[in-house]
Structure 1
């Protein structure tokens, strides 16, 4: 009997980086064998028997992993666990129509009638479903009518935690570019800050997908003064960009369908940045206002005042950074994640650290 981990560690998504860390720090030391999800299906099913133990990373864009999961469940693989990154969704309920009405209707139909109804029998076959937010745990249990769902802290490689000696006034954004990310508001706020501090720079890391590319191009045309649209930045070059800014402004609009943890916020905290965000979705599970980060209000005048006051308060900045580091150590360190994972793992008593 063997233990396998199915995911992908090559690519630009947050799940790829998460999978690298989760395998390296949590599963590899305990004898798990990594299987790249891009491998041919016949080869995967030749390597893994129905008696083996399998953990799979799933997200709304991880179509290959979802395919493997359902093939295994349909073939009565009984020792399968998953991490559901975008709980409660396995896939994103989206149909492309020219009519906004048809788009919204198709999302509703996919979510409430087709997706969940058809998924329930398969979901119940999964031994353990790990979800990265408590909100996601609650809604997944409710929708799929199952108790095999538990919370798993998002791993953060604390050994990379940056200690910042001095702060500046520059901003950065890290993540995919889309209308649901609040990036347009962040750029407007930056323009107001420039009226007081003319040298403040804004570094934007990330790319857009699908129809969001048009939105991204509009932003690049609209905001040019002291704004640097960097596109995709490889992991080995991220530190150079992060060194240029002290404030990570990562805002969101309310999500309607899923409750993910923000890997971008956790990554920025780990890089020693003061995170500026807003109180929506599952953000309150990570950020406590004025403790390990700052909530912005969505009102440009109020938020400009908040930032100008924060700029002048170095002691407060230092306290926020210290609290952020303590939070990561206490809640997201690999040791904490391993404890949470194996306390609920399908054969927790048989998995030993090697």
Structure 2
């Protein structure tokens, strides 16, 4: 789901054994995107068309120089007309699509009653259902109650213990089959849950600050069971004696505001693409607005790289790195939604 991969290893590598100053370079480079200069780590965004590969990093390894590499995935749809794109996906020409029909830059689906192989071939709100007598599969309307798999359910719903349930709507302490049904996107022992951070036997609040060299304890919210113990993560600032217990910030109660924003019931796509919480796919398929997409992208990056976000160590290069916007928050999203709604009313959309 998350494409800013190489910085994840930086964030998780900020344990006490490799606690160094992180410093942004003055501009993009085609050379080293990570450079160990002894007393500090110089971090540079790559120039357009180049990336820092995830495979070059050890999750908790020592720092090493890493060079930008050409992004071989930077191709256009027009160059790859291989018929691999399903209903609702963006296309350039008809051969892009599995249905061989590209209309208004979107792949057409197969209508109700037509033979199919995969759920993704059908119109939105339909799935590929096998006839128990003939064995032939045809596109059929989604089920509304009982199910055996996600794609049988309505758009934005999944199969939870045999019944269709909307993603990210189940509150803490209720039983679920998978994390995706929880408002916190986390379950433990079969129940929706969340993670609390502790250090020195005290629960942490605010920015989850801790002392370098001291362990963080991550406990479940419902029954206070130990989920994991891990060292305090560095701040990436010279001379700082403190760090953060932010390893599981994305599983906190605060994070539930983000996941609740991904609740949806419309899509131009089908199959997996209308039964996921991948915000990139949801935006492409029209399930969420641009404002919600920007919010999702910013917030999940903030949680993934929590210690770097709250320490402000990389504020000057976090945006060009494609990491996170250091100034984006819940207020920014709320204001963007207000402006969008206001103009929609003025223009008569609502």
TM-score by length of structure 1 reads 0.24
TM-score, length basis structure 2: 0.24
Q: Which has the higher contact order (CA 8 A, sep 6+)?
A: 1
| Structure showing greater Rg | 2
Greater strand content:
2
Report the structure, 1 or 2, having the larger helix content. 1
